[in-house]
Amino acid sequence: MCGIFACHSHPDVAKFKPTALKLSKQIRHRGPDWCGSVISNNTILCHERLSIVGVGGSRSVYLVSRPSSNLKAESGAQPLTNADDSIILAVNGEIYNHRLIRKTLKTPYHFKTTSDCEVVIPLYLEYGIDAPKHLDGMFSFVLYDKKKDRTIAARDPIGITTLYQGWSSKEPGTVYFASELKSLHPVCDKIEAFPPGHIFDSLTGERTRYFEPTWWDGEKIPQTPVDLKKLRETLEKSVRKRLMAEVPYGVLLSGGLDSSLVASIAQRETLRLKKLAEETNSAAEEKPEDLDKGEGLVGIDDENKLSTMTFLPQLNSFSIGLPGSPDNEAALKVAKFLGTKHHVMTFTIEDGLNALSDVIYHLETYDVTTIRASTPMYLLSRKIKAMGIKMVLSGEGSDEIFGGYLYFHGAPNKEEFHTECVRRVKNLHLADCLRANKSTSAWGLEARVPFLDKEFLEVSMNIDPADKMISKERMEKYILRKAFDTSDDPTAEPYLPDNILWRQKEQFSDGVGYGWIDALKDNAELHVTDEMMKNPKPEWGSDIPDTKEAYWYRLMFDEHFPQSCASTVMRWTPTWSKQTDPSGSGLIHAANDVRLPPHGLPQNGSAESCRRLIGFDRAAFPKLAFAPSPATTRLGTTLAHRQLLTFGLLSKDFYHLSSGSLEVKDTTPNRVAFKVTGKSSHDAATSGAIEAKYSDKSTGVTVTQTWNTANALESKVELADTLAKGLKAEGIFSFLPASQAKGVKANLQFKQSNFHGRAFVDLLKGPTTSIDALIGHEGFLAGGSAAFDVQKAKITNYSLAVGYHAPTYNAAVTATDNLSVFSASYYHKVNKLVEAGSKATWNSKTGNTVGLEVAAKYRIDPVSFVKAKINDRGVAAVAYNVLLRDGVKLGLGASFDTQKLDQATHKVGTSLTFEN
């Protein structure tokens, strides 16, 4: 991939040039090989080049065809110009049919370079704004016609390459173009993603769609039965085109169906060309070549065969995943079967988390699915480029074309199935194409996607969707698998092993290792509080993140880009599914309301929900509100959560407190959340409760109804951000029929940056009032609380607390019960696996004895952990928590009085949680 930046009709282009060069430099990672710029009239075009074709200098010794008679012409440095320099062109992409275009031009044209992109100039001279219709490839380009003072810009049919268009209110007549947002937002206050398959003409100021395939209307349902042979041969031809290169190349191999098929076809073609090269070299005979006719250049020839190209002695394939990931294991099997030189990269969760901000900077999105999948691809691309590889083939697009995502199980009929396929293909430029392009371009690597070939789309998108649909007899992408299944022909060489050809779909972010998604969710819990979720930034408008992970990514996006860039982002969400989490393996199908087989591995969900790990230390901070606003959090960490981690270590997950507990959670389609809990204590008493909760985000109203086995009823109504921003009002009503006892409480909470205040009023007791307040600044916390009896006009209780947090440790000191009980707590995150904490308490009223408790936690793997604690009285406890499968958690715990080991004072407990 290359990078382009252009500005049409700037009022002072000479003065603007230094700025233009700086903006172009912002995308130099896309084209590290060379850069160039041209000014003509009031227009400037800048180009950052990644050389793949028309590299320049002498040809590689691995070339099948022979040296050109004009070595000078082999440079493809841009911007490109015609003979009299009246046409200036900057292109990002590859034109696979450039040889055929050179040969079939109506008007002879003398090419200055061997670059495949130069054909855009004569096409423009012959066809004007219809020029892109004749291109077969992936491209974004900006062309300036000096004689007409005209700029045209175009993007390939599907949007495999990235392109953005911007405007500035300071220069109303100026139009900007760039490959990435980071080159535009410093000078533009309005930016749009340039739509695929369109061309812009400065003479009219309009964009028009030039790409008009027969399948574009998603409401028109195809009736053509599948032709398996045609499907296979068209994909083979597509892969063959994309092997056009003069530099080392490879294939991204996840071990899934799509990348494995691409790798298989590429390996066949590589071996064929290697054999052809050996035969050609043994009978070397130089022939005159006409470069203007495309002779001797890399690319497809008249018979649609790749007769000239560079090749490596062995095809390189690449995969990435966490240790033991499904993708790496499957990719190794495929590579061994095909005979490719395979490179496995493993990454740690910490590697991925450390790269997140950079990934979001390069991707220019906050979409959850894109970021999850892009991070491993971003890490892998760096390693590939370091090996000297400059181009890779990838398998994007197949799932959109054939309905391969697991949520397609829920398609109610073939009409909706096809409409969804068309919609997904049309939006690829905002999802998988964006991911593949920017993840690789971040390191100067080019990704090519054979499934999105125009001809292949014309064949595959016009297949009767009834042949694509998933059923009990047919798994996803059945016809694609069947097209490459040669088991019924003993003489045919198999493309793939059966266990790969018929391997079930894994979304890339799942296949690299299920612990990756768990880690992202868990870390999002550390960075985003429940209060932040209720108080999103006003400038976000209606585009509100619906999960903490999405909120976290949006915060990182905002650190890099202004609000004007957010309109270019699209969120990837499944259709026909109740689940908001886009991860493929966890999707629930509306059609049959069942989960897909888990393949015997842990699925999505967290090994332990962080909001349970991180509790409010009520003993240390009674009635103090430690829930910071987004502004407080952006100081670097969530003050409240970081400060109170000690409580999570000392009090959470020790199930011996109950002999057994059960918790079941579910959410109905209309967003009513149900929770049923049951608990059996060691004295044989059993208790239970059921809770129903409904939230309307549009009005800020939340209604909660609770009933327990003591026959107590409680209703709570919350009103958030309606009366005033940051203000939440609550009304709580309770009733105990057995004693006719009633309760009515009114609460107010007010949150602003670095400040949080609350007031609680019990209307039927006294009435009594309690208030608390908290301030935070640069890691320091200070707060106080007081209770007041209205009838007695007396303060009945007051407390104070101070605390400090750092990235890896937190400390707090409190004085409670009218400043008579003092406690100090400390938390330390030793490393990513080990946490430790302690707490000391002294009651000045009861004597000089100081109570001490210490605890530690060790994470065994992404789905399980163990905790232990002991106090100064010799009571020790241990706990174990494991995620059995998605939504099912088991906890085991025990406590022992080490001073009374011969007595029946010890306890054992269990906990089982089901959550949907």
State the DSSP code for 577: B
d(CA 552, CA 533): 10
- Please check whether residue 520 is in contact with residue 274, taking contact to mean a CB–CB distance below 8 angstroms: no
- Name every residue whose Cβ is closer than 8 Å to that of residue 409 and which is 6 or more positions away in sequence: 470, 476, 589, 591, 592, 596
State how far the alpha carbon of 701 is from the alpha carbons of 539, 670, 696, in Å: 21, 15, 5
d(CA 39, CA 25): 17
- Name every residue whose Cβ is closer than 8 Å to that of residue 796 and which is 6 or more positions away in sequence: 768, 787, 788, 789
Beta strands in 337-403 (DSSP E): 341-346, 391-393
State the DSSP code for 463: B
Known active-site residue 2: yes
d(CA 650, CA 840): 12
Interstrand relation of 171-178 and 794-805 (parallel, antiparallel or unpaired): unpaired
Residue 320: phi and psi, rounded to 5, are -145, 150
d(CA 15, CA 18): 7
For residue 142, which of 165, 126, 110 has the smallest C-alpha distance? Answer: 165
The active-site residue, picked from 2, 117, 188, 433, is 2
- Give the 3-state secondary structure of residue 470: coil
Q: Which amino acid is at 170?
A: K
d(CA 570, CA 553): 13
d(CA 695, CA 720): 10
| Cα-Cα-Cα-Cα dihedral sign, residues 578, 580, 585, 586 | negative
What DSSP string describes 731-742?
EEEEEETTTTEE
Q: Name the H helices within 211-256.
A: 228-241
- Please check whether residue 705 is in contact with residue 715, taking contact to mean a CB–CB distance below 8 angstroms: yes
d(CA 894, CA 659): 9
d(CA 395, CA 402): 13
How many other β-carbons are positioned within 10 Å of the β-carbon of residue 342?
23
How many other β-carbons are positioned within 10 Å of the β-carbon of residue 530?
11
d(CA 516, CA 376): 10
Instruction: Provide the annotated active-site residues.
Output: 2
